[in-house]
Structure 1
Amino acid sequence: MDTLRRRIPFKVGEDDDANTDGEVLDDQQQEELIEVLRKENEIVNQRYSTALKVVVGLSCMLQLITFNQNPLLTVFPIQGTESSIPLPAIFTLLAVYIHANLIIMFFANEFRVRFQFQFSNLVGPLSYQFLYLLSAVAPTLCLFLQKPWQAILWWCTTPLMVFIVHAVMDAIQQSNQGIADLETMKYKAPGA
């Protein structure tokens, strides 16, 4: 057996990415890694939250500025006399109410902390399902009355805002949950 040559496995150069998969972290390294990830998560969540507040605020201002008129008709005019749904002011007020509700959702935690204010079911923000339902009234009416695409598109901005807020808030919540899950996955590795 001495004449047989030993097999030496092929080793690729030392890559940091390849070694981190099998690396065992001690308690302090785990805590440092989780803290770095938590800080990065907070920064990203703050940016998303700020961008979301700006988008919803601009959308609400656009709804208020163009109270009785469709701004898409200035860019894409149509050759008809009646291009809007009946009573557009009521639907605009509904859209503003939905935007205000979305803004309340952003600041709900800050209201609770600063003013020790607890939202009851009557005062708190509405659920996303109810906001989707309310925001779908005007586009559905446009489709039912066979209004031009400009009117349908304009009235679809409010459901789009609800969808964007819902998607981003869910992403923020999932990232926070991911950090919390990482903390529960800590292991004990003395002397690692």
Structure 2
Amino acid sequence: MDALRRRNPFKYSSEPSESHSDTHILDEQEQSELIDNIKGMNAASNSQNRIALQITLALSFLLHVIYIFSDYSSPLYSVFPPAGRPESPLYLSPLLALFAIILHANAALVTHPRDFVLAERRITPLPSSVAFGLSAIAPTISVLSGKTWQTTAWWCTTAFLTWVVHASNKWIVQEQESISELERMKYISAGA
């Protein structure tokens, strides 16, 4: 009798099943609702992430502007004072700070969801590889000059924020591609 096939009666989808409790096939309307819900959650998440990035960039931008009008000592000295006597500022500090401000503006362009137009010209951000390279100039000069870790960490903030903005933008693009892929996977169950 074991060699014979056992008859499994048809079960309605409303009846609980031990082996198929997780498999619920969505119809077209349920698929559309689910994708719309995912799109809405993704849009809200992207908006919150962009706002957080823009606030962080604005605060760092403001700190760099204040740095230009100060004595050019690292702002980290007020939190972590150096062990010895204060050192001289980094060579070309005002120019490097202005450069950091420009890179902050570039990062702000990346976080902006729409194109920025100025005088009927579309302003596009620098490619991420160029922005990374340019943001590494000041920390490299600081390390090669033998400055304290507070000074080097201060000059690394622009490079760090450039990386954070690039990574966040990459994640946003990947999420949008995933949703597009999910929409392409929708099936029509007519006649099934």
- 8 Å Cα contact 1:26-1:191 kept in structure 2: no
Check if 1:91 corresponds to 2:96. yes
| Structure 2 CA distance for aligned equivalents of residues 90 and 96 of structure 1 | 10
Please list every run of 5 or more consecutive structure 1 residues that lacks an aligned counterpart in the other structure. Answer: none
Higher relative CO (Cα under 8 Å, sequence separation at least 6) belongs to 1
Aligned residue-pair number? 178
Query: Secondary structure, in 3 states, of the residue corresponding to 1:75?
Result: coil
Please list every run of 5 or more consecutive structure 2 residues that lacks an aligned counterpart in the other structure. Answer: 9-14
Query: Secondary structure, in 3 states, of the residue corresponding to 1:91?
Result: helix
Deviations 1:78-106 (A, max 9, x none): 22343431121111000000001111222
Percent identity, aligned pairs only? 35
- 8 Å Cα contact 2:50-2:112 kept in structure 1: no
| Structure 2 CA distance for aligned equivalents of residues 108 and 133 of structure 1 | 24
Deviations 1:131-171 (A, max 9, x none): 11111001001111111111111100000000110111111
> Which of the numbers 101, 105, 108 marks the counterpart of 1:100?
105
Larger helix share, 1 or 2: 1
TM-score, normalisation: structure 1: 0.82
- 8 Å Cα contact 1:60-1:99 kept in structure 2: yes
| 1:24-173 matches, cutoff 5 A | 24-67=25-68, 68-78=72-82, 79-107=84-112, 109-111=114-116, 119=122, 123-173=123-173
TM-superposed CA distance for 1:14, in Å, is 4.7
Q: CA RMSD in A?
A: 2.7
TM-score, normalisation: structure 2: 0.82
- 8 Å Cα contact 1:24-1:189 kept in structure 2: no
